[in-house]
Amino acid sequence: MLETEQHEIPFEERRYRNQKLRRRGIFLIPSLFTVANLLCGYYAVVAALLGGAENFDRAAKAIGLAILFDSLDGRLARLLKANTDFGVQFDSLADVVSFGIAPGILAYAWGLRGLPGDGAAAFREIGQLGWVCCLAFLICCAWRLARFNVQGMAPGGSKYFVGMPTPAAAGMIAALVHGFKQPLHDWRWSVAWFMLAAGLGALMTSRIRYYSFKDVPLARKQRSLSIVLLGVIVAVIYVYSEYALVILAASYATVGLGLHVVRFVRHRMVSRTA
């Protein structure tokens, strides 16, 4: 009976239904990478709560994987022409977990768990400072994502983000934890660490422009030299990840800030001479 019903359906209608089903499957592909991003963020939170050098390192690696999945879901959505409003909102909610909550908890635990004098007044004060700074990081992350959903990229195209991207800020925290692994044991370093988290939050909500790499034509045919250089960079990151990731994360943060200072000084000089 079912076979006869299928034969009764016109060929054009069956082809239309098959195309519709395939199209729905294409829209699901970017969301699967967003789910993977969310899973990595959740795992990072659990690992950070467990504590210990190994778990802190695992949490940092999970945030790194979340950055990879986050970059892939956006590129796949553009490549497959599967951009949807639902996908944008789902991606932002996943980013709050992976690049706001997860690095905030990791930064707090890594900067506080190794300090001596549990219960002392100084320990409680540093804990309160860390709580405030990491909360500020989370709030700035959510603020940055909401502003991006409303305003989008910087005026003039998709070359620049307005404010430090949330994956880059989370990557800075993850890279330092992965590079040093052992939690901090000196309260002075803990204070500096928590202030760094607050500073990254300020960079996320700033008007500083950061290069987006969205204009890099990855889908086009690349030169052999570019492929070789990319392979060398991946190999260096894989072998010397503790050093390479810290250098890359710090360079991205400081270059954007440095170029902003240069533009500001140049603008002031031009306005004085005018």
- C-beta of residue 166 within 8 angstroms of C-beta of residue 95: yes
Mean pLDDT of 258-266: 86
Q: Within 10 Å of residue 78's Cβ, how many Cβ atoms?
A: 13
Q: Is the pLDDT of residue 7 over 80?
A: no
Give φ, ψ of 241 to 5 degrees.
-60, -35
Domain boundaries, the chain: 9-273
Report d(CA 183, CA 77) in Å as an integer. 38
- The pLDDT mean for the chain works out to 84
- C-beta of residue 59 within 8 angstroms of C-beta of residue 44: yes
What's the confidence (pLDDT) of residue 160?
Answer: 85
Give φ, ψ of 207 to 5 degrees.
-100, 15
Q: Decide: residue 197, CB within 10 A, 0-12 exposed, 13-18 middle, 19+ buried.
A: buried
Going by their DSSP bridges, the two strands 209-211 and 160-162 should be labelled as antiparallel
- C-beta of residue 33 within 8 angstroms of C-beta of residue 80: no
- Report the amino acid identity of residue 70: D
Q: Is the pLDDT of residue 118 over 60?
A: no
**Residue 107 — very low, low, confident or very high, per pLDDT cuts 50/70/90?**
very high
- C-beta of residue 249 within 8 angstroms of C-beta of residue 171: yes
Q: Decide: residue 202, CB within 10 A, 0-12 exposed, 13-18 middle, 19+ buried.
A: middle
Query: Does 88 or 183 have the greater pLDDT score?
Result: 183
CA of residue 44 relative to chain centroid, distance: 13
Least confident piece of the model among 38-47, 109-118, 132-141, 171-180:
109-118
User: How many CA atoms within 13 Å lie on the side-chain side of 3?
Assistant: 0
Report d(CA 79, CA 26) in Å as an integer. 11
